[in-house]
Amino acid sequence: MTDSLRGVVLAGGTGSRLLPLTRVTNKHLLPVGREPMIFHPVRKLVEAGVTDLLVVTGVEHMGHVVGALGSGEDFGCDITYRVQQEAGGIAQALALAEPFARGGPVVAVLADNVFEDPLGPHIAGWDRRGAHILLREVPDPERFGVPVFEGQRLVRIDEKPTQPSSSFAVTGVYFYDGSVYDIIRGLRPSDRGELEVTDVNNTYLDRGALTWGTMTGWWTDAGTFETLARANRLVGG
């Protein structure tokens, strides 16, 4: 395992943008290439030496997720599970990792993120203090958290802006030290009624404790029919 760094795979949400497919299973079990979507972030973490994993998912299809991943033995890791009772946002799901993390650092990956970059170099470049996020240039940044720069300095992250100030998106790969849970406890729900991970990242940024890197390989989410098809094209059969 990489310096006691633990991994969190966030596989909650209702998958409403992929209805009716998600009436029968968790969206993260839909196929990307020849495997369920959730296998991809699990394999990325294990390949980077992060072998103690927590999977957070919702109530309705929890059994399907456990049935697909099992104990983690087939992947060369140990998997623990937590249930997110309601779709309360990424930050709310991440908060469930506090007992699992035991005060240590975590790398959290959204289970609908499919990407080419190995995580090892990004992990090696993070000093385990504060937060670290990964950016990727995309054609549709308005769908994501968008970094706002003044020169080379990151000054804030805008959540799904109608007029993005840059062509970069904050990908669903986050590195946090143990202070993240206190930050989450201090958050207020957004207009969507959720605890937003963008608010977590902006809090770190305000403290001068957020760094960032850039993914160089391909990256996509797979949470819509269009991006699920894109993920399948990128991964191949």
Q: What pLDDT is stored for residue 14 in this prediction?
A: 67
Q: What pLDDT is stored for residue 151 in this prediction?
A: 87
Query: Could you tell me if residue 164 is inside a domain?
Result: no
Query: Could you tell me if residue 46 is inside a domain?
Result: yes
For 97, the enclosing helix (H) or strand (E) is: none
Pairwise CA distance, residues 108 & 176, whole Å: 8
- Computed over every residue of the chain, the mean pLDDT equals 92
Query: Could you tell me if residue 12 is inside a domain?
Result: yes
Over residues 146-205, the pLDDT tens digits come to 999 998 899 999 999 999 999 999 999 999 999 999 999 999 988 888 899 999 999 999
Pairwise CA distance, residues 205 & 212, whole Å: 10
Place of tokens 């206190």: 182
Over residues 70-118, the pLDDT tens digits come to 999 999 999 999 998 887 889 999 999 999 999 999 999 999 999 999 9
Q: How many Cβ atoms from other residues are within 10 Å of residue 62's Cβ?
A: 17
Structural domain tally of the chain?
1
Question: 62-69 vs 39-47: helix axis angle to the nearest 10?
Answer: 40
Task: Please give the structure tokens belonging to residue 45.
Answer: 């973490």
Query: Could you tell me if residue 213 is inside a domain?
Result: no
Q: What pLDDT is stored for residue 17 in this prediction?
A: 77
Output the pTM of the full model: 0.94
User: For residue 72, what is the domain's CATH number?
Assistant: 3.90.550.10
Pairwise CA distance, residues 179 & 202, whole Å: 14
Pairwise CA distance, residues 216 & 234, whole Å: 14
Query: Could you tell me if residue 198 is inside a domain?
Result: no
Range of the domain at 186: 6-129+172-191+219-235
Q: Is 106 exposed, middle or buried (0-12, 13-18, 19+ CB in 10 A)?
A: buried
The region that residue 181 occupies, defined by phi over 0 for left and psi between -120 and 50 for alpha, beta otherwise, is alpha
Query: Could you tell me if residue 135 is inside a domain?
Result: no
Query: Could you tell me if residue 38 is inside a domain?
Result: yes
Closest-CA residue to 173 (of 217, 140, 232): 217
Query: Could you tell me if residue 229 is inside a domain?
Result: yes
Do 91 and 184 touch, CB atoms closer than 8 A? yes
